[in-house]
Amino acid sequence: MMKLLTGTGLRWLWLAVVTIVLDQLAKHFIMQHIPYGHGVIMTPFFNLVHVYNTGAAFSFLANAEGWQRWLFSGLAVAISGLLVIALAKAPAKCSLSNLAYSLVIGGAIGNLVDRMLYGHVVDFLDFHWHELYHFAAFNVADMAISCGAALIILDGFIKKPANK
Question: Which of 23, 114, 126, 142 is the catalytic position?
Answer: 142
Query: Would you say 97 and 155 are in contact if contact means Cβ atoms under 8 Å apart?
Result: yes
19 burial (CB, 10 Å; 0-12 / 13-18 / 19+) is buried
Integer angstrom CA distances of residue 91 from 5, 15, 86, 155: 10, 16, 10, 15
Q: Are β-strands 46-53 and 121-129 bridged in parallel, bridged antiparallel, or unpaired?
A: antiparallel
SS3 66: coil
Question: Which of 23, 114, 123, 126 is the catalytic position?
Answer: 123
For the question of residue 142 being annotated catalytic, the response is: yes
Query: Would you say 106 and 15 are in contact if contact means Cβ atoms under 8 Å apart?
Result: yes
For the question of residue 126 being annotated catalytic, the response is: no
Catalytic positions = 123, 142
